[in-house]
Amino acid sequence: MIAANETFNGTFPFAPHFTTKPGFRMHYVDEGPGDPIVCLHGEPTWGYLYRKFIPPLSATHRVIVPDHMGFGKSETPQDREYTYLTHVANLEALLNDELDVQNLTLVLQDWGGLIGGAYALRNPERVKRLFVMNTILPIYAPGTEERMANMFENSRWFNWIGAAMADGSLEHVLGSLRVTMLSMMKLIGFENLAQVDDTWVAAYSAPFATREECKGAIEFPLDVITGRAKLFEVGTPETIAAVKQKPIMLAVGMQDKAGDPRLGIAQFKAQFPDAPVVELEHAGHFVQEDAPETAVALIQQFIHSTS
């Protein structure tokens, strides 16, 4: 776990906030006035991923950026179950019980899409709009199973996960993220190498100083590979209909290696046929790193057009 006041040479200068409502010490950034924008990270990142989003968005909105259990400045309890639905419950404890926020704009990427999408299905009355980047949402649409199977079959990331499980190296490699972080992000689809320096490496590696602190990162991909998480069994017909009526937009880094971005777009269009889609040709899985200024401008325009 990263020290509460660590700023990584001023690149993450945001005041730390903590809640114990989920049953562990969960960190979140909370900056700015106005209606809240909640930005959710995935694997193997943390709130640092949104460091270039927070200043411009917090000029007009309250920006909340949690670190999931086992990531960033949050604790990594060893006696807790780590599934995506556990992370959804943790998010509810933060947003509903600790902060009691309404009129949310959800900004979602990677596992943040599944977590934030499930949160929206459970709490549609709290969510105003969704902005999605390189992820899937837990809302069934005709053809979902075939698209998901093809997406993961052609995924460089999940092919590696499957091979690592088969040869017994998964926990060793993902348990060594303190030294393999950059290669893992490249494997998933990180393109903007020009910004990588010692501070960048230190910031992304810091949550994973020991094998035990890598527990969250090890567990996330097992939800997909082992099938233990039924990703599209969240919500009711009523809550699904409520979420489908909300403004939603997709921005896709087309160099993604976690899954085929074309299939991701097809899945999104099957779920939300009238929603706008923007393809970012030179960005990968981590749009927040590869095209932060473009993504922020798209979010701002999206919020303005749906206010």
pLDDT digit string (tens) for 232-282?
878 899 999 999 999 999 999 999 999 899 999 999 999 999 999 999 999
| Residue 184 CB burial class (10 angstroms; 0-12, 13-18, ≥19) | buried
- Among 17, 87, 285, 290, which one carries the catalytic annotation? 285
Reply yes or no: is the peptide bond before residue 77 cis, omega within 30 of 0.
no
Active site includes 41? no
pTM for the complete prediction? 0.97
Catalytic position from the list 110, 223, 256, 290: 110
The phi and psi torsions of 201 (rounded to 5 degrees) equal -65, -45
Q: What is the pLDDT of residue 205?
A: 97
Q: Which stretches does DSSP call E strand in the chain?
A: 17-19, 26-31, 36-40, 62-66, 104-109, 127-133, 248-253, 277-280
pLDDT tier at 153, thresholds 50, 70, 90: confident
pLDDT digits 0-9 by tens, 162-199? 888 889 888 888 999 999 999 999 999 999 999 999 99
The overall average pLDDT reported for the chain is: 95
Structure tokens at 249: 């937009």
Q: Is the pLDDT of residue 231 over 80?
A: no
Q: Other C-beta atoms within 10 Å of 35: how many?
A: 16
- Is 260 assigned a catalytic role? yes
61 is catalytic: no
